[in-house]
Amino acid sequence: MTQLDWIRVKGADLVDGADRVVRLVGVGLGGWMNMENFISGYPGNEEAIRRILLDRMGREAYEAFFDAYLHDFVDDADAAFLAGIGINSVRIPVNYRHFEDDDRPFELKESGFAQLDRVVTLLARHGIRSIVDLHALPGRQNQHWHSDNPTHLAEFWRHRHFQDRVVHLWEALADRYKDRPEVAGYNPINEPADPTGEVLPLVYERLERAIRAIDPRHVLFLDGNKYSTDFSFLDGRAEPMENAVYTAHDYALPGITSATEYPGVTRGEFFDRAVVEQTFLRRTEYMRRTGTPIWIGEFGPVYPTDRDPEPWRYRLLRDQLEIYRDHGASWALWTYKDIGLQGLVTVAPGSEYLRLVGDLVEKKRRLGVDSWGGSDAGVRDVLDPIDALFDREFPEYAPWPLGRQPHIALLVRHILLAEPLAEQFGDLFRGVSPEAARVLASGFRFDRTIERTPVTEVLRSHLAE
């Protein structure tokens, strides 16, 4: 195993034991220990689809599928591939459900820690540091599917019980990794969305005390509010926490909407490199003002599968990478592997898995069920009357955090339509044998995926400079 040194915060930099500056350049391991619908192909949220699949497949086939999925999604070949690109860090999103069951709170499961241990170790073998990211919290810390949220409510901020469980879990994670320098640090809450902005700083303070009492060495990577874009909740508070990095997520609008060109106009605004840089500077103002390191925990365009490749998306990626380098920012590109929308590697269209679920994935696309990368073009006949009703009856309604139209899309497309579609997805797996289930999951194995070479070439070129 490659020996990796401890890293820590020194002023505006991360440094190793010899005070050499360390710039983390990495990817997110989305879809592994925290599944997401656009990554794995199912509709809705992870807990619901697991419950449905268990019902359709039975216990033995269900466990065979997910045991194989967790192993095949990331293994030694994946780590070797990432190291070959020049990647030196991986942000590992995890769902609390791997470590604790809702009906047995505070009783931790060794199986989740063992799975995480395996990947931390194999990444370190290739010289890659890990950042452990709690991506889905009990009670849900934001309003969307990626916190395994079946609703539009983030109850984590309203119930002390959920907060107590997260502190307890982080105490266990800190104890597990307190002597592991190959873990660069801990990302305690992914994309918090605290409507008041008053609970989040208190939760961070409580988590810092709990983690530091056990593990004083690891770096804390602390997301901003409103999906890691807003640090105003820190205004008027004490100095930045010791040995902490405040992390922004920096998705450039042309890369995640129905834009058709870059540079060009997206939603009435002209975007070029200068505008993308201005957005980055706005989102990282707190870090630059306080002289703390910058880590962009998520960013990157999507690559829609319903149209020909668009070279301008790769230009946008290059521009963002250059901006981050110019400002000394570390980063983690979202995401490493999926079924085709955004990954560096993607499941092959001819795989047994996509042959089984491909028609339903197309139905998801047509109905705009997935929030990430989805379009409402196929359901405007449903949404237009709702928009007209709100224009007439509730013209001032703009719910936090994203406003009225995204709120309606969440309720109608991403919840209402996803629920029956998830049932149809589960029906596809009815009668699948344990052996067939393992074959289906093996579609995510590295040697059965396809490299998105235009993206990896951008990364290789940038990291070689």
Give the span between the Cα atoms of 143 and 414, in whole angstroms.
11
Where on the phi/psi map is residue 116: left (φ > 0), alpha (ψ -120 to 50), or beta?
alpha
Give the span between the Cα atoms of 220 and 243, in whole angstroms.
7
Which structure tokens are listed for 141? Answer: 């810390």
SS3 271: strand
Of the candidates 288, 297, 202, 287, the residue with the CA atom closest to the CA atom of residue 244: 287
First to last CA, the chain: 26
Sorted by sequence, the CB contacts under 8 Å of residue 300 that are 6+ apart come out as 251, 255, 317, 320, 333, 334, 335, 342
Give the span between the Cα atoms of 17 and 6, in whole angstroms.
6
Under a CB-based contact definition with an 8 Å cutoff, are residues 44 and 55 in contact? no
SS3 297: strand
Which structure tokens are listed for 77? Answer: 């070949």
Catalytic residues: 191, 298
Of the candidates 363, 371, 394, 367, the residue with the CA atom closest to the CA atom of residue 382: 367
